[in-house]
Structures are given as structure tokens and as C-alpha cells.
Amino acid sequence: MKYRLLGRTGVWVSEISLGAMTFGGKDHPIYRTLGGLQLDEVDRMVGTALDAGINFIDTADVYSDGESEQLLGQALKQRRRDVVLATKLHAPTGPGPNDNGLSRLHVMQALEDSLRRLGTDHIDLYQVHNFDHITPIEETLAALDDAVRQGKVRYIGCANLAAWQISKALGVSALHHRSAFVSVQAHYSLVSRDAERDLLPMVQAEGLGMTVWGPLAGGFLAGKVDRTGVVSDEGSRRNQDGFAQFPPIDREHGHDVVDVVRAVAARHGVSPAQVSLAWLLAQRGVTSVIVGARRLDQLAENIAASDLTLTDQDLAELDQVSALPLAYPNWIQAAFASARTPR
């Protein structure tokens, strides 16, 4: 396993990290379809990940209504010290009107609840899970800064925010000398390269870490669904309609991408999933790619992507088939960029 610095923190995290969305929720209407793993299965999953060198595990308080955090805490036990532990807050965790969002009230309560479920006295990376359009960012950042000063949180980060929202937050933190976001968690894959338009350039400019969720687009990039919608692996959690819904992708474009992914995989004698993950690891600005699994063989396959080095030809072919058209103002800035290059 290889390790990369998490932004400018000086903390090394594994370039493949374990996502815990598949933990728990056996009877949950949504999470049971994502995994529904129980304690014995979670124990094996976490043990396999740690033994392979993974030291970065990501969960959220909303996953399986808190059961993911609880099971993860039980599985870590004496190995808690070996892990950079990340969780998130924002989504509803109860029926009350204040059981969600990023108000000081909810931040403080959600933090205590996560600490209790995880069975730990601190969270290494505490992330806001989404944007709260009601609560001023100043209030949220002040509450998170208090948590850092209290020693209950080591670093703070964010997920699913727009580049301008993150930039504003960084400015507010700097203005008031408060703890600032050190990382961004974003959706990014060969069939979903929107992050390249604004998020990735901002991440690189600000020196933030970037962790990637949904790197296989819900399993689509594992190459187990053909153009007719036939699923070749009974263990695949979605049919083709499911792939098209979350995360949303252009299905026809996606199949064109998968065709090239399969060709590259055949050249290396590896799986399409490994190629898709290796492509992400080759992108500038990416710190760690979060993988989730329902089975140990899936996890082992994903971890092996860390050992795959794609050639320049591989990367060029994958880039060409998956490239997005430039969006404004990117295209006009690109058009004038050459004028700033000395001849």
C-alpha cells in the first residue's frame, strides 16, 4: 500500500481507503441493498483492510442510521490507534427539526453521538456532509473550531460542496483564525469528471487533500453490466436502472468508457474495476480513493489497484473516451492561456 499526505496536515493516509457505507442496515429499506453487513462480516472487512495497509476509514452518522459507526467502532477495538478515522454530519439523524444541518446545536450533538457510537474519544477527520443553506458558515466553522480546541476532533473537512463554498469557508476560517478545512470529499470517476472543472483546480491551488467517493459509479465501472442491461455478476447490487439513478451518469457515454476500460484491463490482465481505480490514483490532486465492498473478494480486488501502474497509452485512451467538454468560463480561459506562455 502507498501513502499520500492529507493536504498540508503532515498526516499520511493510504491511497486506498475503506468506506463503511456497507456496514449495518440489514433491515433498512435502503442500506440493506448497499450491504447490510453485520458485525462478524464487518470484523473481517476491517481486518482485511488494515492487514493490507489501509489506515484510512470513512463513515458517516447517517449510514444505516448510525449503525455503521457503531459496528465500525466495535470492529476497530484495539486497532483504533492504527486508523485515521473519518466521519461526517449533516443529514437527518432523528425526527426532530434540529436533528440535521450544520447549526452549532446540531454539530455539538452530532459529534457527541458519533463519538459514543464509534467508542472513541476523538475523530481524526470530521467532515460536513453537505451544504447547509440556512446556517451561516461562520456559525458552523466556529462550532467545529471549538471541537478541535476541545481535542474531540483533530482536523475538519467537507464533502459535496461547490468550489466557491469551500473557498468562502477557507476565507472565513483565515479571517477569524479558526481551524480550516484540510480536505474535500467529492464524487469523481471516469464517467463523472465534473470535479475537474472547478473543484480539482481549487483543491490544488489551496493545498487541500481530496478523497473520492463513488469511484466505480455504483459498480458501473466494474464492467458487469452490458448495453442491454444484463448483469453478469449476481453479487452486483444494482441493475442498470439503478446505475443510472445514483450516481447519475450518461448511460451511453458510460458504456463507451467501459469498452475502453475493458480493453486496458485485458492488456494488463486485471479487472475493469482495478483500471478505473488506478486511473483515479493517477490524477493530480487525488489523495485517497474510497472503496466499499460487500464481499472480501471485492475488497481484495479493489485494494490491488494500488499496485497497478497505467501506461501513458492507457491514460491517454481513458482520458480521450471519458473527457468532458469544457464549461464556461473554463473554455475561454483556456483559449487565452497560451498568450501568457513565453514563446
Calculate the alpha carbon distances from 215 to 196, 202, 222, 286 in Å.
Answer: 14, 20, 10, 11
Q: Are strands 181-187 and 153-159 parallel, antiparallel or unpaired?
A: parallel
63 is catalytic: yes
Which residues partner with 209 through β-bridges?
183
Q: Are 129 and 88 in contact (CB under 8 A)?
A: yes
| Nearest CA among 50, 58, 1, 53 for reference residue 185 | 58
Among the listed residues 145, 164, 134, 76, the one whose alpha carbon sits nearest the alpha carbon of residue 107: 145
Collect all residues with Cβ–Cβ distance below 8 Å to 14 and sequence separation of at least 6. 1, 2, 3, 53, 54, 55, 56, 288, 306
Burial of 298 (0-12, 13-18, 19+ CB in 10 A): buried
The answer to whether the beta carbons of residues 323 and 193 sit under 8 Å apart is yes
- The CB-side HSE value for 323 (13 A sphere, CA atoms) comes to 8
CA distance 171 to 129: 19
The CA–CA distances, whole Å, from 322 to 183, 185, 193 equal 25, 21, 8
Secondary structure (DSSP) of 186-221: EE-BTTB-GGGTTHHHHHHHHT-EEEEE-TTGGGGG
Which candidate in 3, 31, 63, 188 is catalytic? 63
What is the residue type of 203? V
Kindly list the catalytic residues: 63
